[in-house]
Structure 1
Amino acid sequence: MEWYTLLVLAVAGERAAELVVARRHTRWSLERGGRETGGGHYPAMVVLHTGLLAGALAETALAGRPFVPVLGWTMVAVVVAAQSLRWWCVRTLGPRWNTRVIVVPGLPPVATGPYRLLRHPNYVAVAAEGLALPLAHGAWVTAAVFTVLNAALMVVRVRCENTALGFAGAGAPA
C-alpha cells in the first residue's frame, strides 16, 4: 500500500501546484479587469477534492481494500491520463486557466487544444481522476461518493462558467 500512498500524495502535490498556478493567473486576470463569479460553490469544491484524497487513503487502510492488479493498474493509467489532460487544459488556456471562475472581459473563448473537442475538458479529467484514483486500490465507496457529489457540483460549476462566458443560450459552441 505504500506505493498507493505515494500516488495519492503525488496527486495532492499536483493539486498544490495547481493552486500556485491559479493564484498567479488570478492576479493576471484581475489586472486585466477580470471578475470572479460563482465563488459560493468554491469552498464545497475544495472540501470535495480534499475529501477524495483523504477518503481514498482512509478507505483503503481502514476497510482493508485489496489491490486487484488488472483494475488497479488500469486505474493508475487513467489517473496519469487525467493529469495529462488537466495540464493540457492549463497549458492551452495559459493565464486564463484558474480554479475559480474569473473571466477577463473582451477575450474570446478558447477553441484550441482540448477545447476544440469539448467545452469543459478539465472536468472530464476531474471526473476520470475522481473515479480512478480511489479504484486504483479498491476504494469503491470513495469513488462512488465522489462521483455522485462531483456530478452535482459540476452542474452548478458548468452552469456558472457557461453564464460567465456567455454560452448560456442555444447555439453555444460544443
Structure 2
Amino acid sequence: MVSQAWYSVLVGLVAVERLAELVVAKRNMAWSLARGGRETGFGHYPFMVVLHTGLLAGCLLEVWLADRDFTSALGWPMLVLVVASQALRWWCIRTLGHQWNTRIVVVPGLPRVTGGPYRLFQHPNYVAVVVEGFALPLVHDAWVTAIVFTVLNAGLLTVRIRAEDDALRSVHA
C-alpha cells in the first residue's frame, strides 16, 4: 500500500511535468505563429493526447486495481530510466528552444537544429517518449499498461515521425 502511494506520487509528478510541457508548447506556438510558422500533421494530435493521458491513468489504475507489487529488481532500474527519459526530454526542449512543441510547427527560414541530442539521434524526444512509455508502468509492475502503450505508441510514432519529417523537408529542402 505504501509503495502504491509513492508510485502515485511519481505518476503525479510526471503529470505535472506534462502540464509544464503544455505551457512551454503554448508559448512556443505563439512565438512560431508570430514568425510565420505553420502547423501540420494535426490530425493525429488528439489521439496522442488521449494515449499519453491513458498512460498515466493506466499506470495508476493497474497498480491500484490489480494490486500490483513493487519488485525492486525491476522497479529501481525502471525508475532510473524514467528519470533519464525526463532528462533527455528537457535536453531536447532546451536545445530546440522556441522551436520545440508538442505539435508539429515549422517556421520557414529557421535552420534545422542539429546540436545537443539532435547530433546523436534524428528524433531524440521520441526516444524519451518510448523509454518513458514502458519504464513508467514497469516501475510498479504495471506490465499491461506498458505493453498496451508501447504497441499503440509505435503506431502513433510511425504517423508522427512521417508527418514531422515531411514538415521539416518542406522548409529545409
Q: 2:11: which partner in 1?
A: 8
Q: 2:81: which partner in 1?
A: 78
State the alpha-carbon separation in 2 of the partners of residues 118 and 47 from structure 1.
26
Shift of 1:64: 1.1
* Unmatched segments (≥5 aa) in structure 1: none
Letter in 2 for 1:51: G
Letter in 1 for 2:69: P
Q: 1:140: which partner in 2?
A: 143
> 1:142-163: CA deviations, max 9, x gaps?
0000000000000000000000
- The answer to whether structure 1 residue 122 and structure 2 residue 125 are counterparts is yes
State the alpha-carbon separation in 1 of the partners of residues 155 and 48 from structure 2.
11
Letter in 2 for 1:110: V
Aligned to 2:166, which of 163, 166, 174? 163
With normalisation by structure 1, the TM-score equals 0.95
Letter in 1 for 2:31: W
- The answer to whether structure 1 residue 44 and structure 2 residue 47 are counterparts is yes
Structure 1 residue matching 2:114: 3-state secondary structure: coil
Shift of 1:113: 0.1
- The answer to whether structure 1 residue 112 and structure 2 residue 112 are counterparts is no
Q: 2:66: which partner in 1?
A: 63
State the alpha-carbon separation in 1 of the partners of residues 115 and 108 from structure 2.
19
State the alpha-carbon separation in 2 of the partners of residues 27 and 80 from structure 1.
29
State the alpha-carbon separation in 2 of the partners of residues 95 and 61 from structure 1.
39
> 1:6-37: CA deviations, max 9, x gaps?
00000000000000000000000000000000
Letter in 2 for 1:96: Q
Shift of 1:107: 1.1
Q: Percent of pairs identical after alignment? A: 67
State the alpha-carbon separation in 2 of the partners of residues 10 and 70 from structure 1.
22
Q: 1:32: which partner in 2?
A: 35
- The answer to whether structure 1 residue 153 and structure 2 residue 156 are counterparts is yes
State the alpha-carbon separation in 2 of the partners of residues 153 and 65 from structure 1.
28
* Unmatched segments (≥5 aa) in structure 2: none
Report the number of matched residues.
Answer: 168
Structure 1 residue matching 2:53: 3-state secondary structure: helix
Runs of 4+ that moved beyond 2 A: none
Across the aligned residues of Structure 1 and Structure 2, the Cα RMSD in angstroms comes to 1.0
Shift of 1:45: 0.1
